[in-house]
Structure 1
Amino acid sequence: MSASANGASKQYPSTPPCCKFDFSPLLAANYAAVSEYSTAAIIGGSRPDRVCEGPMISYAQNFEDVMIARLFDAHYRGFYVDIGAAHPDFLSVTHHFYDQGWSGINVEPTFRFYPLLCVARPRDTNLQCAIGNSSGVATFYEIPKFAENSTLERTVADRLASTELAPKPHEVEVFRLVDLCDIHVKDRTIDFMKIDVEGGELDVLQSGNWERFRPRLLIVEATVVNSREENWQTWEPILIEANYHKVWFDGLNNFYLREEDLELRHAFRLPPNIHDGFETAELAGLKRLASGRAALRQQIEALFSRRGFRWLTQLANWPELKNLAELLRRQ
């Protein structure tokens, strides 16, 4: 028995009595190789508790994870809070750290991404809610086509409605940031907090207690949704008053270090570069795919070179054998 690509068990045919060579292990290995390297997402899935070997893999949209990783030892197991987590893998700021053994809190109100987080991040605390300046229930404008642009802000939703990004409103529970931290963070140190709430940054920051809960690093989206226009002027004074210092702007986000960690600001002198030793998730996925295909081809060639296998593909009614033989002939 071996797992197929969709997770269901597949029974491989037993070897006929007339054949001295047992093909089942090779067939199982071939199916396993196909299962691993033909995943729907070329980005690749999470592998919890596995320290990445080789180059760091960056999953984030704007290399935010590369900048964050400069602050921490590769074997450090930290804690994050992601407000507006979106997809657990694609364009995720926290995916790399989860793969390194970190854990944290993911806040994601959308119906599209929240279930994916629950499946992909069992070590994390995943919450389907929103963060705002007052607790209660609010209308959330979810955009099915681009759920990462979903928002609590009516003005943002109205602007997007004039494009192809028509929102579908639904109600969500809203918590203040301080209440979320009281319940789920408690006395733990937040190594970094990312805030990406499509125009609602002011309400999120106003709802925090920055004396009691002090993330070492804050990453806050600092531009108008789908625009280069910067909008940090409205909410940055909250962080300045709380003794946070801006150390980097990457064109999309502002990065802030708390005053207690300001000696680490040298890590933000330069943009992501070759000396960070990383590769994109897309490139890493293509490498895995190429490696898997090469290994599969070697197995097929070894199998097809056996006289008994060639005979069986002609006489036996085994679709698996016929498919393998046809695949080799095409290549």
Structure 2
Amino acid sequence: MAQSGRFISFAQNGEDVVLNRVLGKLPIGTYVEIGANHPRIDSVSRSFYDRGWSGIAVEPNPYYAALYRAERPRDHTIEAAVTSSTEPNIIFHLIEGTGLSTLVDAVSVDHASQGMTVVDVVVPTIRLDEVIAMNGLGGAEIHFLMIDTEGAELQVLQSIDLTKVRPWILIIEATAPGSPIATHAEWEQLVLGAGYQLCLFDGLSRFYVSAEKMDELAGPLSYPVCVFDDFVTIEQLRLLEDLESANATLDEVRDLLAAANHAITDLHASRSWRVTSVLRKAVDICRGR
């Protein structure tokens, strides 16, 4: 179902809608997602990808990384965990079918205590500055950097010098996994000290803008999703498509029913029907009707 220009939101909390206010008019752009998770479900970058953008997706979950490679071939998918550790590998606490997998032991223990199945796997590590450099983005425009690593945001930020690599916008998950408890105090100074200013906290993530782009972007990024944003969520769009399909099927059934009724009417009006009416009545009498 065509939406004639309406922005289609895939993100879980409307982060992509907020970004679209300032980035929607760019014909193409570049993003970096750390903890990219699923290439469609709850994806902040998916709508931008569908509009021709591309970027880097770093995801240590082998299943999701494979999905990225299959569904989003323009993106460079890196199957690793971003961390400041000098060790080549790290334990990744994998919770299949969710976006809750984490590097943080305490978070993993908490999920296990809630009955979730946690499988520990060994994954390679990489620094964020290495991710940027190996993709030739050191001096390039990065329009937004998304960090969603289920409690490991500090480790990610410690692996890059944001005074040298300057994404326009940072979106960093800022609450404890599965909780509204704020966690930004442990890493925010790294962001502010690098010349970024907080524009918005949407209840889940904090949006920061570089000093260079502050005058241009801060205003439109200062408020959460609202009625003035012309968008539809992917869930709403699919429901509308299902409704249209159901209505089309209903119209077909109505047409068939009308044709059947017309045929019955024609049959009743036919000469043979009238001629055999006496015989049908006799049969009904014999059957005791």
- TM bin (shorter chain): 0.7 to 0.9
Over residues 189-235 of structure 1, what are the superposed CA-to-partner deviations in whole Å (9 max), with x where a residue is unaligned?
11000000011111100101212211100000101111111010010
Over residues 238-259 of structure 1, what are the superposed CA-to-partner deviations in whole Å (9 max), with x where a residue is unaligned?
0111001011001111100000
Q: Partners in 2 of 1:142 and 1:110 — Cα distance?
A: 7
Instruction: Answer whether contact 1:190 1:214 (CA < 8 A) is retained.
Output: yes
Aligned-residue Cα RMSD (Å) equals 2.2
Match of 1:286 in 2: 239
CA positional deviation for 1:87? 1.0
User: Residue 240 in 1 paired to residue 192 in 2?
Assistant: yes
**Structure 2 runs not aligned, ≥5 long:** 264-289
Match of 1:20 in 2: none
SS in 2 for 1:238: helix
Match of 2:71 in 1: 120
Match of 2:275 in 1: none
CA positional deviation for 1:302? 7.5
Q: Partners in 2 of 1:305 and 1:102 — Cα distance?
A: 50
Instruction: Answer whether contact 2:200 2:223 (CA < 8 A) is retained.
Output: no
Match of 1:225 in 2: 177
Match of 2:102 in 1: 151
CA positional deviation for 1:94? 0.8
Q: 1:77 to 1:163 in 2, by over 3 A?
A: same
The code of the aligned residue for 2:68 comes to L
The code of the aligned residue for 1:260 comes to E
Which of 144, 147, 150 is the aligned partner of 1:198?
A: 150
Using the TM superposition, name which of 59-68 and 113-122 deviates more: 113-122
Q: Partners in 2 of 1:140 and 1:286 — Cα distance?
A: 36
Q: Partners in 2 of 1:205 and 1:128 — Cα distance?
A: 18
Match of 1:188 in 2: 140
Q: 1:126 to 1:296 in 2, by over 3 A?
A: farther
Which of 259, 265, 270 is the aligned partner of 2:218?
A: 265
Question: What is the identity percentage for the equivalent residue pairs of Structure 1 and Structure 2?
Answer: 34
Over residues 278-312 of structure 1, what are the superposed CA-to-partner deviations in whole Å (9 max), with x where a residue is unaligned?
111111111122223444566787799999xx9xx
TM-score by length of 2: 0.83
The code of the aligned residue for 1:250 comes to D
Using the TM superposition, name which of 256-265 and 71-80 deviates more: 71-80
Which of 96, 115, 118 is the aligned partner of 2:47?
A: 96
CA positional deviation for 1:121? 0.5
Instruction: Answer whether contact 1:52 1:100 (CA < 8 A) is retained.
Output: no
SS in 1 for 2:41: coil
The code of the aligned residue for 2:76 comes to T
Q: Which 4+ stretches in 1 moved above 6 angstroms?
A: 299-307
Q: Partners in 2 of 1:218 and 1:164 — Cα distance?
A: 33
Q: Partners in 2 of 1:234 and 1:201 — Cα distance?
A: 9
**Structure 1 runs not aligned, ≥5 long:** 1-36, 38-50, 311-331
Instruction: Answer whether contact 1:78 1:102 (CA < 8 A) is retained.
Output: yes
Match of 1:129 in 2: 80
Q: Partners in 1 of 2:110 and 2:83 — Cα distance?
A: 21
Could you say which structure has the larger radius of gyration? 2
Q: Partners in 2 of 1:293 and 1:128 — Cα distance?
A: 41
SS in 2 for 1:164: coil
Instruction: Answer whether contact 2:29 2:143 (CA < 8 A) is retained.
Output: yes
Q: Partners in 1 of 2:74 and 2:97 — Cα distance?
A: 28
TM-score by length of 1: 0.73
SS in 2 for 1:268: coil
